[in-house]
Amino acid sequence: EPEVTQTPSHQVTQMGQEVILRCVPISNHLYFYWYRQILGQKVEFLVSFYNNEISEKSEIFDDQFSVERPDGSNFTLKIRSTKLEDSAMYFCASHRGHNTEAFFGQGTRLTVV
Amino acid sequence: GIQVEQSPPDLILQEGANSTLRCNFSDSVNNLQWFHQNPWGQLINLFYIPSGTKQNGRLSATTVATERYSLLYISSSQTTDSGVYFCAVGNNRLAFGKGNQVVVIP
């Protein structure tokens, strides 16, 4: 069964460093998302991406964050200068079409020290 | 944005018991999904259920879209059912509830 894959599963980085979280969505899906979950809290929407551009972003998604689909398969989230409060589980999700089921990756646990 | 409320926030069950988790949401949506978050933090998709009723083994779910709520039923609970259950709703981007923390004791 097709699945969304995320790498790495766990990343530790020093405060101020740049990190890139990678996702490979399901191949025929057109809508891509990033969510994050701070430990012990609920999952929050960060950004959606469709037709090679951001379609919606939350207030959390400030200039520190960027997304890219550099080729036909990968979807990346870059955090430019990490802060301690960026420590969280980051989930990638994809949808086949508008208003369809979301498929989530297994998550990347980011720890900023 | 869409508000999602899950109840009860915490539930302790004896193994073998049945339970019902509830999700209320504030606006009409085209997507509703239930997830189980495992101890490693992964979100396991249980049901995609914008309306109607579905069953998968000991789990079943019902969504009444016109009344903006969904129910997740766990029957004959097992210790492996422990964890956090999330309801997520939306019209593309998903809004998550705070979850139902379920502990099943042997």
Q: Please, how many CA atoms are within 13 Å of residue B8, restricted to the half-sphere of its CB?
A: 8
A102 and chain B in contact, CB less than 8 A: yes
Helix (H, G, I), strand (E, B) or coil at B33: strand
Q: Counting Cβ atoms within 10 Å, is residue B93 exposed (0-12), middle (13-18) or buried (19+)?
A: buried
Peptide bond into B8 cis (omega under 30): yes
Full pLDDT tens readout for chain B, 106 residues: 899 999 999 999 999 999 999 999 999 999 999 999 988 899 999 999 999 999 999 999 999 999 999 999 999 999 999 999 999 999 889 999 999 999 999 9
Cβ atoms A32, A97 nearer than 8 A: no
B39 and chain A in contact, CB less than 8 A: no
Q: Tens digit of pLDDT for each residue in A59-99?
A: 999 999 999 998 878 999 999 999 999 999 999 999 998 88
Q: For B37, name the nearest residue in chain A, comparing CA atoms only.
A: A106
Strand bridging mode B52-56 / B59-64: antiparallel
Q: Which of A37, A44, A99 sits opposite B92 (nearest CB)?
A: A99
